[in-house]
Amino acid sequence: MTADGPTERAGALPLAGDAIAAGIWRGAARRLIDADQAVLAELPLGNGRRADLVAIDRAATITIVEVKSGRADFVADRKWQAYLGFCDRFYFAVDRDFPVALLPAGEGLIVADRFAGEIVREAPLRPLGAARRKAMQLRFARLAATRLRAFTDWDV
């Protein structure tokens, strides 16, 4: 374990026991990648939270996606507002059967399955300050490099 999180994961999506959530993660990540964004799963934030998906585009816009696999998952987990200070855009990602009326109308929405994701509601732009953006970019880069090292240097 490092300050950037577990290195043994090597970027694999979590939720091995939850096929619905894993499919949402995969489809949402594919949507962001299709939009030419670099994506990491489970990025630890400066507030001690861990974002499900974080993406950075060529303009350095930082997007956080919170995956919700069902009603119980959303109702039990109210930490999503803690992510808003670490991104320019925030989305919930759910499957097509999720009761979307539960989700805050002012946030972005991605509907996804294991094959693809679709942005149903665009997230509002809330520009990060320069210091927070730099910290997030550094955190993103360090975690990406740590995970890449797990694939390229088996003796570490």
Going from the first residue of the chain to its last (156 residues), give the mean pLDDT of each consecutive group of 10, the final group possibly shorter. Answer: 38 63 96 98 96 97 97 90 97 97 96 97 98 97 93 73
Residues comprising the chain, all counted:
156
- Match 């665009």 to its residue by tokens: 122
- Whole-angstrom CA distances from 59 to 75, 82, 112 are 34, 24, 25
Residue 15: per-residue pLDDT? 54
What whole-number distance in Å separates Cα of residue 110 and Cα of residue 133? 23
The domain limits of the chain are 19-152
What whole-number distance in Å separates Cα of residue 26 and Cα of residue 30? 6
pTM over 0.85: yes
Q: What is the pLDDT of residues 55-96, one digit of tens each?
A: 999 999 999 999 999 999 999 988 899 999 999 999 999 999
What whole-number distance in Å separates Cα of residue 55 and Cα of residue 32? 7
The answer regarding whether domain 19-152 maps to CATH 3.40.1350 reads yes
Residue 152: per-residue pLDDT? 86
| Tokens describing residue 132 | 């927070």
